[in-house]
Amino acid sequence: MADEPNKMRAEIRARQAEDGRKAMAEYEASAAATRAKTEKLRALRLAREAAEAAAPKPPAKPKAKAKSKSKKKAPDGKLADWLDDQAESGRNT
């Protein structure tokens, strides 16, 4: 009778150990796949960068300066004049 709980505990521990081994195998497989993908992408990136460095760059075109049609000028008034105008129009209420 006392042997029955011990058997159940042993079975549970055995299942847990097996689950742990399966989980670890999945984890290691995932990590290996990630490393392989990273290496592949790194090789592709390095090849692309080497090709870009070896290719002659086209000469840069000089930028044409854009002419503005109208330039905004600062008003010729004083701050006091502007404040008086704002007060007369009701802005300071």
Integer Cα distance of 45 and 47 in angstroms? 5
Q: How high is the pLDDT of residue 48?
A: 95
Query: Would residue 90 count as lying in a domain?
Result: no
Q: Which two tokens stand for residue 38?
A: 């990273």
Q: Could you report the per-residue pLDDT of 56-87, keeping only the tens digit for each?
A: 887 778 877 766 666 666 667 888 888 888 88
Query: Would residue 24 count as lying in a domain?
Result: yes
Number of Cβ within a 10 Å radius of residue 54? 7
Structurally, the chain folds into a number of domains equal to 1
Give 68's Cβ-side CA count (13 Å radius): 4
Q: How high is the pLDDT of residue 80?
A: 86
Q: Could you report the per-residue pLDDT of 1-36, keeping only the tens digit for each?
A: 568 889 999 999 999 999 999 999 999 999 999 999
Query: Would residue 23 count as lying in a domain?
Result: yes
Query: Would residue 71 count as lying in a domain?
Result: no
Q: How high is the pLDDT of residue 85?
A: 85
